[in-house]
């Protein structure tokens, strides 16, 4: 299943690289490079990173991957993001900067870390409400004209923001969270993306791993508060995780009938939302690459989709996406 992403058609399943640097426990660079290479050999072509992941480490890692002798850069579709500023003394304290000066500097730094002459898709990681869209999008428009980026993307924007930005310059993609337990985009920006011909790239399509069915109280008890971001998320809290796990158990029943892994069913559900939807599940090791990639081949009948919709009705999920204090400015 190939779908249009900006100026290219790529497999609808890409690889989110964030976890290879931080947020989901410790990662090993040698294993990460092995994972990236195995993903490429399996057919992945869309690789997603950002300048804030690991304070630049993730882009440097992806840069090492794409500059190997066995890799043809032109076969790859590399997306990255700029605009979120992290506090080096408090990694979860972030601010947003969408000024022309900052975005230009961030893009140049990303090009250097990736060791590439161009970025296939460059996102504003978040919009700074203090900066006019004409300045932010105008800067990206200039970067396209200069050949430094091929396509413009936005992250976690409203319908109004997307519509206004798209008038200034065509937006190639919107990246927002979309999964069985994060469905706000279904009635919001996703229909507008379909109307405008904008690709919708779903991050965390497995609910940060929860929808794979492998995360429970005992798993969470064994992860580090400092290394694993999920320790801070309400849906993974001791008070909420059992209720949410009951939903996954019901999904497992559906998956058993379909004779498919539960994670594959969860990913196929996202891909079935619209023909412009892409997913970027992450993986720190090669273990889940094939299973995730094959979700593009799993077709769900309408009655199955409706059954899953009922199981994961928005009011059935317990806990918000993020803690309240970072709800509006947290990272993808």
Report, as residue numbers or ranges, the catalytic residues: 53
The two tokens of residue 328 are: 């509006």
Give the C-alpha separation, 80 to 49, whole Å.
5
CA distances from 88 to 19, 56, 280, 309, 320 (A): 19, 12, 27, 41, 26
The two tokens of residue 38 are: 């195995």
3-state secondary structure of 11: strand
> What is the 8-class DSSP label of residue 298?
P
> What is the 8-class DSSP label of residue 228?
B
Residue with tokens 């300045």: 135
Give the C-alpha separation, 205 to 13, whole Å.
11
Please provide the distance, in angstroms rounded to a whole number, between the alpha carbons at the two ends of the chain.
25
* Residues whose CB is less than 8 angstroms from the CB of residue 92 and which lie 6 or more positions away in sequence, other chains included: 229, 232, 326
The two tokens of residue 49 are: 């990173």
The two tokens of residue 10 are: 């790529």
Give the C-alpha separation, 77 to 89, whole Å.
33
Give the C-alpha separation, 33 to 284, whole Å.
9
């Amino acid at each position: 299943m190939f779908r249009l992403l900006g100026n290219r058609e790529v497999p609808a399943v890409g690889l989110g690289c964030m976890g290879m640097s931080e947020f989901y426990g410790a990662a090993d660079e040698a294993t990460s490079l092995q994972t990236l290479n195995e993903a490429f050999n399996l057919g992945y072509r869309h690789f997603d990173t950002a300048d804030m992941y690991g304070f630049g480490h993730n882009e440097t890692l992806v840069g090492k991957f794409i500059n190997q002798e066995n890799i043809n850069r032109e076969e790859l579709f590399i997306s990255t993001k700029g605009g979120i500023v992290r506090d080096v003394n408090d990694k979860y304290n972030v601010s947003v900067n969408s000024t022309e000066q900052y975005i230009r500097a961030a893009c140049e730094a990303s090009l250097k870390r990736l060791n590439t002459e161009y970025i296939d898709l460059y996102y504003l990681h978040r919009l700074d409400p203090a900066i006019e869209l004409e300045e932010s999008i105008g800067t990206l428009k200039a970067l396209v004209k200069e050949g430094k980026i091929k396509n413009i993307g936005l992250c976690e924007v409203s319908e109004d923001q997307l519509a206004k930005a798209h008038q200034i310059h065509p937006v190639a993609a919107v990246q927002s969270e979309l999964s069985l337990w994060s469905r706000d985009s279904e009635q919001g920006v996703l229909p507008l993306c379909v109307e405008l011909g904008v690709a919708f790239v779903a991050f965390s399509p497995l609910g940060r791993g929860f929808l794979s069915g492998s995360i429970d109280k005992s798993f969470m008890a064994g992860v580090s508060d400092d290394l694993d971001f999920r320790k801070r998320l309400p849906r993974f809290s001791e008070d909420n995780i059992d209720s949410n796990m009951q939903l996954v158990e019901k999904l497992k029943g559906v998956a058993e009938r379909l004779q498919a892994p539960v994670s594959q069913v969860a990913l196929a559900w996202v891909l079935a939302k619209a023909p412009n939807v892409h997913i970027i599940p992450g993986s720190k090791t090669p273990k889940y690459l094939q299973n995730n990639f094959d979700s593009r081949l799993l077709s769900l009948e309408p009655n199955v989709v409706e059954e899953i919709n009922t199981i994961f009705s928005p009011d059935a999920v317990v806990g918000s996406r993020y803690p309240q204090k970072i709800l509006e400015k947290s990272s993808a």
